Amino acid sequence: MIIGLIGFGKVSQNLVNLIKSEDIKFVTSKESRSQSTSNVIDEFSIDVLPTFRDVAVSSDILISATSPKSSVEVAKKYGKYCNGIYLDLNNISPETTLEINSCVKNMVDGAIIGKIDSNNPMVYISGKSANNLLFLKDFFNIRIISENVGDVARLKLLRSSYTKTITAILIESYEIAQEHNLEDEFFDIISLTEGDDFKDRSLSRINNTLKSSKRKSEELNEVIDCFNEHELIMVKAALDKFILL
Protein backbone atom coordinates (compact mmCIF):
# COMPACT_ATOMS: atom_id res chain seq x y z
CA MET A 1 0.00 0.00 0.00
CA ILE A 2 1.20 3.50 -0.84
CA ILE A 3 0.23 6.50 1.28
CA GLY A 4 0.89 9.85 -0.35
CA LEU A 5 1.43 13.01 1.67
CA ILE A 6 0.67 16.51 0.47
CA GLY A 7 2.17 18.77 3.08
CA PHE A 8 4.95 17.66 5.42
CA GLY A 9 4.32 19.51 8.65
CA LYS A 10 3.87 18.00 12.10
CA VAL A 11 0.79 15.99 11.09
CA SER A 12 2.53 14.19 8.23
CA GLN A 13 5.72 13.72 10.22
CA ASN A 14 3.83 12.11 13.08
CA LEU A 15 1.91 9.82 10.74
CA VAL A 16 5.17 8.57 9.24
CA ASN A 17 6.53 7.94 12.73
CA LEU A 18 3.40 6.09 13.88
CA ILE A 19 2.52 3.99 10.84
CA LYS A 20 5.28 1.41 10.72
CA SER A 21 4.62 -1.56 8.44
CA GLU A 22 6.52 -3.45 5.77
CA ASP A 23 3.32 -3.38 3.71
CA ILE A 24 3.03 0.43 3.72
CA LYS A 25 5.21 2.90 1.84
CA PHE A 26 5.02 6.68 2.18
CA VAL A 27 5.62 9.02 -0.74
CA THR A 28 5.74 12.80 -1.04
CA SER A 29 7.34 15.50 -3.18
CA LYS A 30 9.57 18.51 -2.68
CA GLU A 31 7.81 20.36 -5.50
CA SER A 32 7.58 24.08 -4.58
CA ARG A 33 8.64 23.27 -1.02
CA SER A 34 10.93 25.51 1.02
CA GLN A 35 14.48 24.48 1.75
CA SER A 36 13.61 23.96 5.42
CA THR A 37 10.75 21.59 4.51
CA SER A 38 13.00 19.75 2.06
CA ASN A 39 15.57 19.29 4.82
CA VAL A 40 12.90 17.84 7.13
CA ILE A 41 11.76 15.39 4.44
CA ASP A 42 15.36 14.19 4.07
CA GLU A 43 15.30 13.16 7.73
CA PHE A 44 12.61 10.55 7.04
CA SER A 45 12.85 7.28 5.15
CA ILE A 46 10.19 8.00 2.54
CA ASP A 47 10.20 8.10 -1.24
CA VAL A 48 10.36 11.53 -2.86
CA LEU A 49 8.67 11.86 -6.26
CA PRO A 50 9.23 14.67 -8.79
CA THR A 51 5.75 16.22 -8.49
CA PHE A 52 2.64 16.08 -6.30
CA ARG A 53 0.73 14.88 -9.35
CA ASP A 54 3.00 11.83 -9.33
CA VAL A 55 2.27 11.42 -5.63
CA ALA A 56 -1.49 11.56 -6.24
CA VAL A 57 -1.43 9.12 -9.15
CA SER A 58 0.65 6.54 -7.26
CA SER A 59 -1.24 6.68 -3.94
CA ASP A 60 -3.79 4.22 -2.59
CA ILE A 61 -4.46 6.82 0.11
CA LEU A 62 -3.68 10.49 -0.51
CA ILE A 63 -3.54 12.61 2.65
CA SER A 64 -3.90 16.37 2.51
CA ALA A 65 -2.39 17.93 5.63
CA THR A 66 -1.42 21.40 4.46
CA SER A 67 -3.42 24.36 5.80
CA PRO A 68 -7.08 25.39 5.81
CA LYS A 69 -6.36 28.16 3.28
CA SER A 70 -4.80 25.83 0.71
CA SER A 71 -7.02 22.77 1.22
CA VAL A 72 -9.41 23.48 -1.67
CA GLU A 73 -6.61 24.47 -4.04
CA VAL A 74 -4.72 21.27 -3.22
CA ALA A 75 -7.84 19.16 -3.82
CA LYS A 76 -8.57 20.81 -7.16
CA LYS A 77 -4.95 20.66 -8.30
CA TYR A 78 -3.98 17.14 -7.21
CA GLY A 79 -7.00 15.33 -5.77
CA LYS A 80 -8.47 14.69 -9.23
CA TYR A 81 -5.51 12.45 -10.06
CA CYS A 82 -6.07 10.19 -7.06
CA ASN A 83 -8.10 7.05 -7.71
CA GLY A 84 -7.72 5.86 -4.14
CA ILE A 85 -9.00 7.43 -0.93
CA TYR A 86 -8.58 11.17 -0.47
CA LEU A 87 -8.22 11.89 3.27
CA ASP A 88 -8.36 15.55 4.27
CA LEU A 89 -6.95 16.25 7.73
CA ASN A 90 -7.03 20.04 7.55
CA ASN A 91 -8.96 22.10 10.08
CA ILE A 92 -11.70 23.23 7.69
CA SER A 93 -15.41 24.07 7.80
CA PRO A 94 -18.19 21.71 6.68
CA GLU A 95 -18.78 23.93 3.63
CA THR A 96 -15.13 23.66 2.60
CA THR A 97 -15.23 19.92 3.17
CA LEU A 98 -18.22 19.56 0.86
CA GLU A 99 -16.49 21.71 -1.77
CA ILE A 100 -13.48 19.41 -1.66
CA ASN A 101 -15.79 16.41 -1.88
CA SER A 102 -17.07 17.71 -5.21
CA CYS A 103 -13.49 17.81 -6.57
CA VAL A 104 -12.21 14.36 -5.60
CA LYS A 105 -13.17 10.70 -5.57
CA ASN A 106 -13.62 8.67 -2.39
CA MET A 107 -13.40 11.62 0.00
CA VAL A 108 -12.92 10.96 3.70
CA ASP A 109 -13.29 13.86 6.14
CA GLY A 110 -10.81 13.57 9.00
CA ALA A 111 -9.77 15.34 12.18
CA ILE A 112 -7.02 14.79 14.72
CA ILE A 113 -8.42 15.50 18.17
CA GLY A 114 -5.90 16.79 20.69
CA LYS A 115 -2.18 17.19 20.10
CA ILE A 116 -1.25 16.50 16.49
CA ASP A 117 2.13 15.09 17.54
CA SER A 118 0.71 12.74 20.17
CA ASN A 119 2.05 9.19 20.40
CA ASN A 120 -1.50 7.88 20.30
CA PRO A 121 -3.76 10.46 18.63
CA MET A 122 -7.51 10.13 18.25
CA VAL A 123 -8.56 10.51 14.63
CA TYR A 124 -12.22 10.94 13.68
CA ILE A 125 -13.27 10.16 10.11
CA SER A 126 -16.47 10.20 8.06
CA GLY A 127 -17.35 9.27 4.50
CA LYS A 128 -18.48 6.26 2.50
CA SER A 129 -14.89 5.06 2.14
CA ALA A 130 -14.06 5.48 5.83
CA ASN A 131 -14.28 1.73 6.52
CA ASN A 132 -11.27 1.21 4.28
CA LEU A 133 -9.14 3.12 6.78
CA LEU A 134 -9.92 0.96 9.80
CA PHE A 135 -6.57 -0.82 9.38
CA LEU A 136 -5.05 2.33 10.89
CA LYS A 137 -6.35 1.11 14.26
CA ASP A 138 -3.15 -0.93 14.37
CA PHE A 139 -1.22 2.34 14.75
CA PHE A 140 -3.45 4.81 16.62
CA ASN A 141 -7.03 5.44 17.72
CA ILE A 142 -9.46 5.94 14.88
CA ARG A 143 -13.23 6.25 14.96
CA ILE A 144 -15.77 6.34 12.14
CA ILE A 145 -18.53 8.87 12.76
CA SER A 146 -20.76 8.26 9.74
CA GLU A 147 -20.82 7.88 5.96
CA ASN A 148 -21.56 11.59 5.59
CA VAL A 149 -18.68 13.78 4.48
CA GLY A 150 -18.83 16.92 6.59
CA ASP A 151 -19.95 15.32 9.86
CA VAL A 152 -16.43 15.32 11.29
CA ALA A 153 -15.99 18.96 10.28
CA ARG A 154 -19.21 19.82 12.13
CA LEU A 155 -18.03 17.95 15.22
CA LYS A 156 -14.73 19.84 15.11
CA LEU A 157 -16.60 23.13 15.13
CA LEU A 158 -18.87 22.02 17.96
CA ARG A 159 -15.85 20.96 19.99
CA SER A 160 -14.19 24.28 19.22
CA SER A 161 -17.35 26.09 20.29
CA TYR A 162 -17.32 24.34 23.67
CA THR A 163 -13.59 24.50 24.46
CA LYS A 164 -13.09 28.11 23.43
CA THR A 165 -16.19 29.32 25.28
CA ILE A 166 -14.98 27.57 28.42
CA THR A 167 -11.54 29.11 27.92
CA ALA A 168 -13.03 32.61 27.67
CA ILE A 169 -14.82 32.14 31.00
CA LEU A 170 -11.64 30.70 32.53
CA ILE A 171 -9.55 33.68 31.44
CA GLU A 172 -12.12 36.14 32.73
CA SER A 173 -12.38 34.41 36.11
CA TYR A 174 -8.59 34.12 36.40
CA GLU A 175 -8.17 37.84 35.68
CA ILE A 176 -10.55 38.70 38.52
CA ALA A 177 -8.79 36.26 40.87
CA GLN A 178 -5.47 37.95 40.07
CA GLU A 179 -6.90 41.37 40.89
CA HIS A 180 -7.75 40.08 44.36
CA ASN A 181 -4.50 38.10 44.82
CA LEU A 182 -6.50 34.87 44.92
CA GLU A 183 -5.13 33.08 41.86
CA ASP A 184 -3.71 30.09 43.77
CA GLU A 185 -6.88 29.71 45.81
CA PHE A 186 -8.93 30.05 42.62
CA PHE A 187 -7.23 27.02 41.10
CA ASP A 188 -7.31 25.09 44.38
CA ILE A 189 -11.04 25.43 44.91
CA ILE A 190 -11.93 24.42 41.34
CA SER A 191 -9.44 21.54 41.49
CA LEU A 192 -11.63 19.98 44.18
CA THR A 193 -14.13 19.05 41.48
CA GLU A 194 -12.06 19.27 38.27
CA GLY A 195 -9.03 17.20 39.29
CA ASP A 196 -5.53 17.77 40.64
CA ASP A 197 -4.11 18.72 37.24
CA PHE A 198 -6.67 21.48 36.68
CA LYS A 199 -4.20 24.30 37.39
CA ASP A 200 -1.57 23.02 34.95
CA ARG A 201 -4.14 22.38 32.24
CA SER A 202 -5.75 25.75 32.78
CA LEU A 203 -2.52 27.75 32.68
CA SER A 204 -1.50 25.91 29.53
CA ARG A 205 -4.86 26.68 27.93
CA ILE A 206 -4.71 30.33 28.98
CA ASN A 207 -1.17 30.83 27.67
CA ASN A 208 -1.97 29.11 24.40
CA THR A 209 -5.04 31.28 23.91
CA LEU A 210 -3.20 34.51 24.69
CA LYS A 211 -0.55 33.62 22.10
CA SER A 212 -3.08 32.71 19.41
CA SER A 213 -6.19 34.76 20.20
CA LYS A 214 -6.48 35.97 16.59
CA ARG A 215 -6.56 32.43 15.19
CA LYS A 216 -8.99 31.29 17.86
CA SER A 217 -11.21 34.28 17.06
CA GLU A 218 -11.20 33.18 13.43
CA GLU A 219 -12.23 29.68 14.49
CA LEU A 220 -15.15 31.07 16.52
CA ASN A 221 -16.20 33.11 13.50
CA GLU A 222 -16.29 29.85 11.55
CA VAL A 223 -18.59 28.39 14.21
CA ILE A 224 -20.90 31.39 13.95
CA ASP A 225 -20.94 31.25 10.15
CA CYS A 226 -21.66 27.53 10.08
CA PHE A 227 -24.40 27.50 12.72
CA ASN A 228 -25.88 30.94 12.03
CA GLU A 229 -29.43 29.66 12.36
CA HIS A 230 -28.81 29.30 16.11
CA GLU A 231 -28.46 32.11 18.68
CA LEU A 232 -24.97 31.10 19.85
CA ILE A 233 -25.11 33.62 22.69
CA MET A 234 -22.15 32.16 24.60
CA VAL A 235 -20.02 31.67 21.50
CA LYS A 236 -20.50 35.31 20.49
CA ALA A 237 -19.63 36.42 24.02
CA ALA A 238 -16.45 34.33 23.89
CA LEU A 239 -15.54 35.91 20.56
CA ASP A 240 -15.95 39.38 22.09
CA LYS A 241 -13.58 38.35 24.89
CA PHE A 242 -10.94 36.98 22.50
CA ILE A 243 -11.04 40.15 20.41
CA LEU A 244 -10.08 42.13 23.53
CA LEU A 245 -7.09 39.93 24.37
Residue 67's CATH number: 3.40.50.720
pLDDT of 170-229, one tens digit each? 999 999 999 999 999 999 999 999 999 999 999 999 999 999 898 889 889 989 999 999
Q: What is the domain extent for residue 190?
A: 154-244
Q: How many domains does the chain have?
A: 2
Does 138 lie in the same domain as 85?
Answer: yes
pLDDT of 94-113, one tens digit each? 999 999 999 999 999 999 98
Does 163 lie in the same domain as 128?
Answer: no
What per-residue confidence (pLDDT) applies to 171? 97
pTM (2 decimals)?
0.85
Does 127 lie in the same domain as 11?
Answer: yes
Does 132 lie in the same domain as 207?
Answer: no
pLDDT of 31-43, one tens digit each? 989 999 999 999 9
What per-residue confidence (pLDDT) applies to 200? 95
Is residue 55 a contact partner of residue 7, using CB atoms and an 8 Å limit?
Answer: no
pLDDT band at 45 (very low <50, low <70, confident <90, very high): confident
Does 167 lie in the same domain as 134?
Answer: no
pLDDT band at 115 (very low <50, low <70, confident <90, very high): confident
Does 104 lie in the same domain as 165?
Answer: no
Residues 226-243 have a mean pLDDT of 95
Does 132 lie in the same domain as 29?
Answer: yes
CA–CA gap between residue 172 and residue 175 (Å, rounded):
5
Does 89 lie in the same domain as 19?
Answer: yes
Give 81's DSSP letter: G
Does 159 lie in the same domain as 122?
Answer: no
3-state secondary structure 27-52: EEECCCCCHHHHHHHHCCCCEEECCH
pLDDT of 118 > 90? The answer is: no
CA–CA gap between residue 245 and residue 236 (Å, rounded):
15
Does 209 lie in the same domain as 178?
Answer: yes
What per-residue confidence (pLDDT) applies to 74? 95
What CATH number does residue 222 fall under? Answer: 1.10.1040.10
Does 200 lie in the same domain as 236?
Answer: yes
Question: Rounded mean pLDDT of the chain?
Answer: 94
What per-residue confidence (pLDDT) applies to 222? 87
CA–CA gap between residue 22 and residue 197 (Å, rounded):
40
